[in-house]
Structure formats: structure tokens, C-alpha cells
């Protein structure tokens, strides 16, 4: 349970590379990018996609690969359903976090836990376009010909003990998040890639209820 929960937390609460990324340069017009990105995200009412998570550990030669299904519904509803190599569900729903492992369900109040609150706020604010207004991170913006890269560095000392950076990769044409990279202080990192992204399709509220 603890190992799986740690993987979920790292998925959502990533860490930063302080150095400027290779092949990326600072965004030429940050104001124009943020305006376009926020306008696009504010039109999104739901997202469905598949995801592949690659966990790279210095202690292991091979990466650990997990696969699953991602769901988002405005406002503040997120579902991560791992299907391979294990079955595991995590739901964020209006300030509550639900984790289902087999038949066991654990419930957390993100508002009473600083780490869970920042996890919830980071993910939801990225999806709804309010990330730029977050006071929890120092944010830097980069770009290349195809991708915008948003780097987040947590400001809270307690959160810094767990994470160093979050990298969010945004497709320049569609202005959709297609990758999240998580880098730990140890040098281990997690890369999550999204595919088959569908926006503004019907998602029932029941999908964000865990029993």
C-alpha cells in the first residue's frame, strides 16, 4: 500500500530540474503563451486519455512501466486508474482523495494535509488553467519548435523534502498536456505520457465515486 501510494504521490507532485532543459530555450512571449494556454484550458470541461508511466530507479537497470486510464471532469474531479501491472484507483473529488487497492478503500481530506492539498491543487490548476496563479511554486517557461515546457519548483520547505521539480510538457499546436516528468532529489525520475486524448466528452459523476 505504501509503495503504491508513493508512486501515485510522485505522479502528481513531481520535482524540478533547476538547469535549463536541453534543446529548450526561454519562451519568447510568456504573456501570449499564458493567454492562449489559459483560454484553451478554460474551454475544457472533461478529458479522457490513456497513460503510460515509466519509473526510472538508479538501483534498477530496467525501468518500471505501468499503464492506465486518466479521467478529468470540471471542476476538481480526477480519476487515475492503473490497469497494468496492478489494479489500483485514485480519485480526487472536491477536496477528498480516495484510494482503492483491491477491495480496500482509503479516504483522505486534502484540505487537512499540506502535501495532499498541493497535489490536488497542482493537478487541478494545471487542467483548468489556473496554474499560473499558484503561490505554491516558482514557475519557469521554456519552448522548442513543438513543445512548451512549464517547470514548477515547490516553495514550501516541507514539500521540498519530498520533491524537487515538476515538468509539464504542452503540445504547441493543441495546447494540451502530453507529458509530466517527475525528478526526485536522488536522481530517480518518473515520466508519464498521455495518449488518445479526448476532450469535452461525457463523463458521468459516478466515475469519481469509489466504493
Please report, for the domain that includes residue 75, its CATH number: 2.50.20.10
Nearest alpha-carbon partner for 43 in 123, 127, 104, 108: 127
**pLDDT for 35-80, tens place per residue?**
898 888 889 999 999 999 888 787 777 788 999 999 999 878 999 9
How many domains, the chain? Answer: 1
Specify the 3-state DSSP secondary structure of 123.
Answer: helix
Q: Residue 101: which domain range? A: 2-208
Nearest alpha-carbon partner for 42 in 123, 169, 127: 127
Strand order in the sheet with 46-56: 25-26, 137-143, 147-154, 165-171, 177-183, 189-199, 46-56, 64-73, 77-84, 88-93, 96-101, 104-109
User: Which pTM does this prediction carry?
Assistant: 0.80
**pLDDT for 96-124, tens place per residue?**
889 999 889 998 887 776 666 766 677 77
**For range 112-141, the mean pLDDT:** 74
**pLDDT for 69-80, tens place per residue?**
999 998 789 999
Scan for cell 535549463, then name that residue: 20
Amino acid at each position: 500500500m505504501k509503495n503504491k501510494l508513493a508512486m501515485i504521490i510522485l505522479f502528481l507532485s513531481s520535482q524540478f530540474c533547476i538547469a535549463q532543459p536541453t534543446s529548450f530555450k526561454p519562451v519568447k512571449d510568456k504573456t501570449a503563451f499564458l493567454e492562449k494556454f489559459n483560454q484553451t484550458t478554460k474551454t475544457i470541461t472533461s478529458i479522457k486519455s490513456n497513460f503510460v508511466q515509466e519509473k526510472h530507479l538508479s538501483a534498477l537497470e530496467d525501468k518500471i512501466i505501468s499503464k492506465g486510464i486518466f479521467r478529468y471532469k470540471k471542476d476538481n474531479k480526477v480519476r487515475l486508474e492503473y490497469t497494468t501491472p496492478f489494479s489500483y484507483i485514485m480519485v480526487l473529488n472536491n477536496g477528498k482523495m480516495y484510494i482503492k487497492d483491491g477491495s480496500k478503500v482509503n479516504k483522505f481530506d486534502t484540505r487537512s494535509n499540506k502535501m495532499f492539498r498541493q497535489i490536488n491543487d497542482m493537478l487541478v490548476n494545471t487542467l483548468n488553467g489556473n496554474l499560473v496563479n499558484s503561490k505554491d511554486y516558482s514557475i519557469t517557461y521554456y519552448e522548442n519548435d513543438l513543445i512548451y515546457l512549464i517547470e514548477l519548483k515547490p516553495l514550501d520547505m516541507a514539500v521540498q523534502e519530498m520533491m524537487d521539480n515538476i515538468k509539464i510538457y504542452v503540445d504547441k499546436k493543441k495546447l494540451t498536456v502530453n507529458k509530466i516528468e517527475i525528478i526526485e532529489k536522488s536522481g530517480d525520475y518518473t515520466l508519464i505520457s498521455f495518449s488518445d486524448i479526448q476532450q469535452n466528452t461525457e463523463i458521468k459523476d459516478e466515475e469519481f465515486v469509489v466504493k
